[in-house]
Structures are given as structure tokens and as C-alpha cells.
Amino acid sequence: EAVVAIAREQNPDVIIMETTGVAIPGAIRQLLETSALDTIVRGGNTVCVVDAVSYCRYAARFPFLDQQVQQANVIVINKVDLATEEQCAQTRTRVGFHANPVAAVVETSHGAVDFAWIQAERKVVEMPPEPLAAETFHTGFDSLSLARDERFSWEGFRDFLNHIAPTVVRGKGII
């Protein structure tokens, strides 16, 4: 609804959707093409940003990362300045294996990519539609929110963080 309102009221030249790191591009494209948007806007490129340092390590554990690469027609391999040569080579190999045949791939650091290159019209390989059932969106990630009015014991909180650290992929918060 929000995208439809923006398209109708603002009439922008481009709408860029930055989805979560666990989004499935094909499912989002399917939703957009079967909504009120399909008569208002035309779908563009599906861009997947791949972290050269951690992609291979996490993709082995979370297969949806390879699915994101497969469904993109523009792939940006980022953080090549922080990755070792071995990590870059492994990332190139894995991306090459999973990328669709028409995908344009670029390597960069700090996400520095010319917007005109990203926006350039590119062929889209239509992926077979997948059911939009709840299990399609389960990614293997769990989330934890912790809010308390009482003060935490710093030592207890530190012990808790040390206990869960090996299983945490991403953490953020306010203390």
C-alpha cells in the first residue's frame, strides 16, 4: 500500500526498495507484479549485494543467501578491500555457480558503484514462481528482544552475551 501511495502521489522516476538481508527477491517481485503496482510502475533490476568476507561462510549455513544471488540480475561483490584473496576467489566461484546467466557482476569496496551502472536496463530471468507460504519466508534466523525496567548486573549480562556469541550472526542494541 505504501509503495502504491508513493507511486501515485509522488510520481518518482525511480523507487529503490532496500529489503532486509533475509528477503527473497523473487517473492517480492511476485508480490509487486500481482498488486496494484503492476499498472503504475515497471519492475527494474534486482540487485544483490554480497559481502566478500562472509558470504561463503554464511551461505553454507543459510541457503537463502544463494537464492538471493540466483534471483538477482545485478550482483555487487562488496568489501573486497577487507577480504583475503582466498575469500574473494571463493566468493567469485560461489557467486558464479549460483548467479543466473544474465547477471552483471561487479566487485567493489564501500559499496562504491556507479548508480547508472546499477540502473541500466538489464534482462531479467524469470524464476519459477514459488508459493508464498509461511515456510517460504523462514530463514533459519531467530530474533531476541530484551527489555527490562530493572537494571542488569553487568557481569551477568556479559556472561549471557559470551554464552550466545558463537551463534549470533548480527547484534545491535542500546544499553
Q: How confident is the model at residue 19 (pLDDT cuts 50, 70, 90)?
A: confident
Tell me what the mean pLDDT of segment 112-124 comes to: 85
The yes-or-no verdict on residue 105 having pLDDT over 90 is yes
pLDDT value at residue 125: 63
The yes-or-no verdict on residue 164 having pLDDT over 90 is no
Q: How confident is the model at residue 175 (pLDDT cuts 50, 70, 90)?
A: low
Q: Supply φ then ψ for residue 132, to 5 degrees.
A: -95, 40
Between 4 and 66, where is the model more confident?
66
3-class SS of residue 33 = helix
pLDDT value at residue 55: 95
CB 31 within 8 A of CB 129: no
Instruction: Please give the span between the terminal C-alpha atoms of the chain, in angstroms, as a whole number.
Output: 35
CA 70/CA 100 separation, integer angstroms:
5
